[in-house]
Amino acid sequence: MHRDSFEGFLATNEKRIFRYIYSLGANEQDAMDILQTVFIAVYQNLEKIEDSTALAYTYKIAHNKSVTFLKQKSRYISVDPSSFTNIQDKSAAEPIADYSSLNRAIAQLPPRLAAVIQLQYYEKLSYKDISVQLGISIKAVESLLVRAKRLLRKNIVQDKQGRFV
């Protein structure tokens, strides 16, 4: 296709391509935006397009651009910003968690029990990884965790009552 004939091609086919894009599910404004990108793509590839296949090529580009646009648009939710005015600020409403009694209770544990708690909950290691690191069996890890949790629970309750073990 020649650059001279592009303007005539555009004037002749603009409405039909617009209706095609609109029928694919775009609203009027989106269809106009997609139409513009379609004709820009056609213009950029004029040398490759033959006059006999120009309309089919344009429809194919219109289809591909529409599908891509609608997929991208479906990923976003449009919300009126004024709807956010009634949402409470949760950061101000929620108190900051106090882990001081837990930290004191862990510090009071025997070293082996404290190590198992550290590896399980802070380093997120599996029982198998803990057993390898400590050189003990998986059953021993389970047993140590049960004992450590029981002792932690006891120490935290006593700490809250004012008596620390």
Q: Which residues contact 6 (CB under 8 A, 6 or more apart)?
A: 42, 43, 46
Output the domain CATH number for residue 37: 1.10.1740.10
Question: pLDDT tens digit string along 29-39?
Answer: 999 999 999 99
pTM: 0.47
**Count of domains for the chain:** 2
Of residues 65, 67, 41, 36, the one with CA closest to residue 54 = 41
Q: Is residue 90 part of a domain?
A: no
Pair 120, 130: CB distance under 8 Å: yes
No. of H helices and E strands in the chain? 8, 0
Give the structural domain span for 21.
3-74
| Same domain, residue pair 61 and 123 | no
Q: Each residue of 47-77: pLDDT tens digit?
A: 888 888 889 999 999 999 999 998 888 777 7
Selection from 105, 101, 100 nearest residue 118 by Cα: 105
Domain boundary among 74, 92, 118: 74
C-alpha 11 chain-centroid distance: 43
Same domain (yes/no): 111, 154 = yes
Residue 107 in any domain: the answer is yes
